[in-house]
Amino acid sequence: MRFIICTCLATFLFGCNGWVWSTLNNDSSLVTGDTGYSVDPSALNYAYVNANIFQPHCIHCHSNAAGNSGGVNLETYANVIANLNNIRDQVNTNQMPKGGPPLTDTEKTILNDWISLGAPQ
Ligand code: HEC
């Protein structure tokens, strides 16, 4: 029930973006790594994106421990926000993750939807 309310709210607030929520929630392929995840609007925050996108796909290059490749550190919310447009461009044009397989369509959708929500913490 809460999801239905949220979906209506998201549809109302974000127009045609609302359909994405229901698509994501009905997508049985929404699996990252070894763990299955389901997305609902209340879960789409920095913690979720960090755990599912940045940590598995970016941090092994963009961390202090890894020498912050390209001068970019993606270990904190503030740093991600500061690089947000660049991150979106790099990921959607498959330039990042560098040398690795591109993010899946579902992972890109998660990132793009989170950004379109205003990248909430
Ligand atoms: C294997 C190492 C590696 C991984 C993994 C990686 N990057 Fe990078 N990234 C780099 C390097 C090296 C650069 C410097 C530019 C270049 O060499 O293309 C860079 C540059 C960037 C830049 C700055 C680009 C610019 O031209 O200003 C952004 C933003 C970025 N990466 C985001 C990400 C994101 C988001 C991920 C995960 C989805 C990611 N990177 C994964 C190595 C990596």
Residue 100, domain extent? 2-116
Mutate to test the pocket of ligand 1, among 62, 86, 88 (most ligand atoms within 8 A of CB): 62
Which residue from 16, 50, 22, 62 is spatially nearest to 38, judged by alpha carbons? Answer: 22
Tens of pLDDT, residue by residue over 73-115, are 999 999 999 999 999 999 999 999 999 899 998 899 899 989 9
Q: How many domains would you assign to the chain?
A: 1
The residue written with tokens 């029930």 in the block is 1
In a domain, 69, yes or no: yes
In a domain, 71, yes or no: yes
* 86 Cα nearest atom in ligand 1: 29
- Model confidence, pTM: 0.77
The Cα 14–Cα 83 span in angstroms is 23
Tens of pLDDT, residue by residue over 29-69, are 344 433 344 667 666 899 999 999 999 999 999 999 999 99
In a domain, 121, yes or no: no
pLDDT given for residue 105 in this prediction = 87
Count Cβ atoms within 10 A of the Cβ of residue 115 and give its class: 0-12 exposed, 13-18 middle, 19 or more buried.
middle
